[in-house]
Amino acid sequence: MDKKKKDVLMWVIGVALLVITVFSVRDTALEMMFDSKKVSSISEIEIPAVPDVKTDRDYGVVSAAEWSSYYPSIYESWEKNSGNVGHGGVRASYVDDDPDIKILYEPFGFSYDYTEAIGHSYTLDDIAETTRPHKLANCLTCKTPDFTAMVNNMGPEAYSIAFDDAYAKVSEPISCYSCHANTPGTIVITHDYMARAMNDEMEAGKVDAASVSCAQCHIEYYFDPETKATLTPYDSLDDFDPDSILAYYNAMGFSDFTNTNTGVGMIKAQHPEFETYYGTGSVHKGTYNCADCHMGVAYDKKGNPYANHLLTSPLDNPELLKTTCSQCHKDLAAMVHSIQAEVTENEKKVSALLVQVNEKLAKAIEEKKLSAETLAKVKQLDRDAQFYWDFVYVENSEGAHNSQLSLNCLNKAQELANEALELLK
């Protein structure tokens, strides 16, 4: 090679090395900047200032669309809730999967129309489509912030407005106002019954506001028989365990429906995810709140962290599994699925027993073969047993929140059902 060619080659190599160095320094610098923005949990995200946004929507709820240009990443993640249409894209029908409920819930609406919960985007479509009867506006309590604002403007009378009249005035599915009022970033408990039950507990630092924001709906509740207002069967974290809830309903003689076969006034439990996660025996209740496991941190294109508003299973959040759960769990999915399988198997055993109680009790009533005293006792056992079973059956984590509490409840249900069967022999 002559000298000239050598010089050119050296130049080329020199320039190439320089380019590589500049780029790698830039990448490292970017990575360092990105890493410096990494946060280890949702509560470490800096809360941005709230922009001044006015709305002319009825009842004053600023809609998610109206906030979208100020919080584009959060809005985009919130919109993804519409991707949750059921496990594996198919919405399960519990009536088909668990035919026992046709007998146990009869004649209540859930005995013929009861499907798996799906994403928050669908609440208003779902309530319009269900064939379960819904005469009053109180059914909208957990479906739309427009109704929440209606209650906050009008007072509890709003709960007893005719359903169709109220439905005509609402249009926003669960969104920003539900958990933040009109101040995104700050948690505001907008549902009156939850604010009453939990404001003191939050102030005393006993429970995170983030979790209470979910507990506005993911709880056991009932409608006041007189005012029709939505209420919780407890007023603190000290009396929200299944035993106390049952005692509360028994003391007031409350029933959601009367079973067709037996004439027993029954309690229908509803999605007590808050009560299981914060109940006795929960492994992680002191460490993680609902948002830590069901939202988590995401990063925008510039590497800035934001609270992921796609509410989903932790098993479907690879970032969360990688950065947090895998510190201790080698295979979280396998553990969760095995807990759920055990709980489901026990649920099925107990519901079969409850069907036996239902049928034998109906027969005993028809044949008039029990004393008034024994009959009353069996009816109470039937009611209590079904409540403990239902508390687990309708809970959406299927035991994952608190396997110990779920299995304990099923054991209680089984014991009570066996006691009833003993008296029905």
Within residues 3-42, the interface with ligand HEC by CB under 6 A covers 42
- Give the torsion sign (CA, 188, 193, 194, 195): positive
Q: Is residue 47 within the footprint of ligand HEC (CB under 6 A)?
A: yes
- Angle (nearest 5°) at CA 141 between 400 and 80: 60
Q: Is residue 421 within the footprint of ligand HEC (CB under 6 A)?
A: no
Query: Near ligand HEC by CB under 6 A, which window of 18-26, 271-279, 368-376, 386-394?
Result: 271-279
Give 228 or 401: the residue with its C-beta nearer to ligand HEC: 401
Q: Which CA distances in Å does 148 have to 140, 145, 214, 267?
A: 8, 5, 14, 25
Q: Which CA distances in Å does 84 have to 229, 266, 291, 356?
A: 30, 32, 17, 36
Question: Which residues, 115 to 134, sit near ligand HEC by CB under 6 A?
Answer: 117-120, 122-123, 126
Give 38 or 284: the residue with its C-beta nearer to ligand HEC: 284
344: left (phi over 0), alpha (psi -120 to 50) or beta: alpha
* SS3 state of residue 395: coil
3-state helix, strand, coil in the chain (%, to 5): 55, 5, 40
Number of residues that bind ligand HEC (CB under 6 A): 73
Q: Per-residue x/- marks for ligand HEC, 183-202, CB under 6 A?
A: -xx-x---------------
Minimum Å gap between C-beta 361 and ligand HEC is 33
Give 249 or 288: the residue with its C-beta nearer to ligand HEC: 288
Q: Is residue 284 within the footprint of ligand HEC (CB under 6 A)?
A: yes
Residues in CB range of 288: below 8 A, 6 or more apart: none
Exactly one of 104, 140, 217, 424 binds ligand HEC (CB under 6 A); that residue is 217
Question: Which residues, 307 to 326, sit near ligand HEC by CB under 6 A?
Answer: 307, 309, 311-315, 320, 324-325
Exactly one of 61, 103, 139, 142 binds ligand HEC (CB under 6 A); that residue is 142
Question: Which residues, 291 to 310, sit near ligand HEC by CB under 6 A?
Answer: 291-294, 306-307, 309
